[in-house]
């Protein structure tokens, strides 16, 4: 066997070490670019997050209002409450359909995250007579107020044209339903 001179061995080690350092430094330079690209691709900004929250929360409230209104149409003996509940159900159904359409175009899946309205539904199912009417009007007033707050807050947080058009169309109608509900509530007291 032929022996390698110490100079050639040292030179070879230095060459391998510098090649390794060069490769590692170039990999470090590429990695931040890749990670920043990934962060930009999958980053959700505050506006998008508030829009997702709006769609989910508003649809959950609408579903609850629709359920309460259907119960009122079956259980209430007061004709004015039945008429109001039909009007509210139609309005909320229209709002829910529009929210679903917009959410679908934005690739947002609207699911029922929390079922807080179910407690209200059980209270309505258990109530009867005048107690039912008072419970229904109180519950609908609270839900409409929550929905109005959501509509107002998203109008301040977004500049999305379709969402703002939705708010401009439905917000006055929601206020009108709230005033009618409050008026009936005062009459029944």
Q: What's residue 27's pLDDT?
A: 54
Provide the residue count of the chain. Answer: 189
**CB–CB of 99/55 below 8 Å?**
yes
Domain assignment present for residue 13? The answer is no
- Classify 162 as helix, strand or coil: helix
Domain assignment present for residue 149? The answer is yes
**Count of domains in the chain?**
1
Burial bucket for residue 108 (CB in 10 Å: 0-12, 13-18, 19+):
middle
Q: How far apart are CA 97 and CA 103, in angstroms?
A: 10
Tell me which of 188 and 187 has the higher pLDDT. 187
Confidence check: pLDDT of 90 > 70:
yes
Domain assignment present for residue 26? The answer is no
Q: Tokens 């998008």 label which residue?
A: 48
Q: Cα 87 vs. chain centroid, distance in angstroms?
A: 25
Domain assignment present for residue 1? The answer is no
Q: How far apart are CA 81 and CA 129, in angstroms?
A: 12
Domain assignment present for residue 25? The answer is no
Q: What's residue 65's pLDDT?
A: 93
Domain assignment present for residue 67? The answer is yes
- Helix residue spans in 106-128 (DSSP H): 117-126
Q: Is 108 left (phi over 0), alpha (psi -120 to 50) or beta?
A: beta
Q: Could you tell me which of 115, 114, 181, 112 has the C-alpha nearest to residue 142? A: 181
Tell me which of 157 and 28 has the higher pLDDT. 157
* Other Cβ atoms closer than 10 A to 46: 8
Q: What's residue 19's pLDDT?
A: 61
Q: What's residue 37's pLDDT?
A: 47
Q: What's residue 124's pLDDT?
A: 82
The pLDDT tens digits for 111-161 are 765 555 577 777 788 888 778 999 999 999 999 999 999 999 999 999 899
State which residues form the domain around 143.
Answer: 46-188
Q: What's residue 2's pLDDT?
A: 59
Q: What's residue 106's pLDDT?
A: 84
Q: How far apart are CA 110 and CA 87, in angstroms?
A: 24
The pLDDT tens digits for 71-80 are 999 998 899 9
CATH number of the domain bearing residue 130: 1.20.1260.10
Domain assignment present for residue 12? The answer is no
Domain assignment present for residue 170? The answer is yes
């Amino acid at each position: 066997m032929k022996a390698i001179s110490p100079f050639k061995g040292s030179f070879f080690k230095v060459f391998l070490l510098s090649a390794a350092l060069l490769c590692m430094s170039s990999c470090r330079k590429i990695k931040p670019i890749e990670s920043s690209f990934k962060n930009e691709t999958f980053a959700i900004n505050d506006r998008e997050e508030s829009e997702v929250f709006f769609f989910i929360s508003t649809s959950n409230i609408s579903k609850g209002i629709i359920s309460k209104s259907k119960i009122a149409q079956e259980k209430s003996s007061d004709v004015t409450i039945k008429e109001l509940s039909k009007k509210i159900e139609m309005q909320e159904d229209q709002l829910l359909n529009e929210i679903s359409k917009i959410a679908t175009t934005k690739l947002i899946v609207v699911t029922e995250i929390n079922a807080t309205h179910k407690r209200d539904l059980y209270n309505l199912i258990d109530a009867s007579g005048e107690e039912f009417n008072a419970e229904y009007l109180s519950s609908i007033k609270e839900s409409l107020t929550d929905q109005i707050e959501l509509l107002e807050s998203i109008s301040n947080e977004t500049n999305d044209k379709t969402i703002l058009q939705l708010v401009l169309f439905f917000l006055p109608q929601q206020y009108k339903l709230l005033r009618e509900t409050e008026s009936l509530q005062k009459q029944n007291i």
